[in-house]
Amino acid sequence: MIISVASGKGGTGKTLVAVNMALSLKNRPLQFLDCDVEEPNAYLFFKPEITRIEAVYSLVPAIDEKLCDHCGKCAQFCQYNALLVTSQKAMVLPELCHSCGGCALVCPKKAITEEKYMIGSLKGGSAGNLELLYGELKVGKPLPAPIIKEVKRHIRKDRTVILDSPPGTSCPVIETVRGSDFCILVAEPTPFGLHDLKIAVQVLEELAIPFGVVLNRADIGDEKVQGFCNQKSIPILLEIPYLRKIAELYSKAIPFIQEMPEWKVKFQALFKKVERLCAQ
């Protein structure tokens, strides 16, 4: 089973929920993929022994000036303005390239090939029975989705897989949650939380991925998030209160189920609810 943990905004508690749920399942072979490749932090809580570091590349056009006649058809084709062609020179802006390969197809002189361009790295290790993989986008590179794809390429079908998603509802999130059996949406009961939850729900409905909600800081704000979930028949799977101790432990990279063992049982119950909903 593949479970993604997402939300409509940053700072809502995705990693808090994903990490503590993973650690509550110690007797189960587990794979944890941190897909927040712009700022991965799950490894801080698991403290794994890193045994794998690999470069991640995308493919960008390489132009042979001897063959190029500067017709500009490649630049006209590129929707991302990754190619600039003048009467004297053709230039590639690799940071803007989405690696579609279309420029090579439309070049009448066959002057364009593809070459590797490093955009980040893949790292992995283990902590007990848990296998951890995460990506790191190279500083200054604008496209996290190819690294997320590379992280997900290593999903193991023989294990329960938990994906920690980036914040928001844009391309990196869609790339992360696509193919999940279930998505846990973490929300907070505030006007901003409700606004972003509605967008996240729209995305998951469009992708036809089953989902439920975990309310973090459940005792602040108002009850409009609960009202929205009731109206849409969205199950609220767990409510986590706003506790200073949880925040203090998180700031020290300590999973709070280690210091508050009663929550281990609650996260195990959360996982069982997800299993039941997936089976329906």
Q: What gap in Å lies between CA 127 and CA 243, rounded to an integer?
A: 28
Q: What gap in Å lies between CA 204 and CA 207, rounded to an integer?
A: 5
Q: What does the domain layout of the chain look like in residue ranges? A: 2-29+159-279, 59-118
| Tokens at 237, concatenated | 């799977």
Indicate the CATH number for domain 2-29+159-279: 3.40.50.300
Does residue 50 sit in helix, strand or coil?
strand
Q: What gap in Å lies between CA 126 and CA 171, rounded to an integer?
A: 28
Among 80, 74, 44, CA closest to 61: 74
| Tokens at 19, concatenated | 């990490």
Amino acid at 247: A
Same fold, 2-29+159-279 and 59-118: no
Judge contact between 172 and 40, C-beta under 8 A: no
Q: What gap in Å lies between CA 192 and CA 12, rounded to an integer?
A: 10
Q: In this predicted structure, what is the pLDDT of residue 128?
A: 85
Spell out the CATH class of 59-118. Answer: alpha beta
Q: What gap in Å lies between CA 180 and CA 18, rounded to an integer?
A: 14
Phi/psi at 6 (nearest 5 deg)?
-140, 180
Judge contact between 136 and 121, C-beta under 8 A: yes
pLDDT tens digits for the chain (280 residues)?
999 999 878 889 999 999 999 999 988 899 999 999 999 999 999 999 999 999 999 999 999 999 999 999 999 999 999 999 999 999 999 999 999 999 999 999 999 999 999 999 999 999 888 999 999 999 988 889 999 999 999 999 889 999 999 998 999 999 999 999 999 999 999 999 999 999 999 999 999 999 999 999 998 888 999 999 999 999 999 999 999 999 999 999 999 999 999 999 999 999 999 999 988 8
Taking residue 63's Cβ as centre, other Cβ atoms within 10 Å add up to 22
Among 148, 216, 211, 164, CA closest to 30: 164
